Amino acid sequence: MTKSVATVTDVTFAREVLDAGLPVLVEFTAAWCPPCKMIEPVLDELAREEAGRMSIVKLDVDANPQTTADYAVLSMPTLMLFRDGIPVRTVVGARSKRRLLDDLAGAL
């Protein structure tokens, strides 16, 4: 089975992200967001390639207002890397795979 981007919710966020053993990259996304759709293939590819090093999940901001508010997410997509339950890097906007890896390199 190929690893892909899982979906988290307000209910599952703590278990899937904050309590995870590996770093977790969370995409705060929305169905109406064109840049979010643009970055989906990049995140799918990274989820497969980085399966042993980090997990990648997405959270729909419209359906999960509590987590969105908890992390003061205002723009989509916002990509937030969590390590040991703490957000260690935040990147806003769609980007290429290479640029995203460069942006996350020091935090992984």
Q: Which of 33, 46, 79, 91 is catalytic?
A: 33
Closest to 91 in 3D by CA, of 101, 78, 76: 78
Could you give the CA distance from residue 100 to residue 70 in angstroms, rounded to a whole number?
Answer: 24
Buried b / exposed e along 52-68 (16+ C-beta atoms within 10 A): eebbbbbbbbeebeebb
Of 5, 8, 26, 36, which residue is the catalytic one?
A: 36
36 is catalytic: yes
Query: What residues are annotated to the active site?
Result: 33, 36
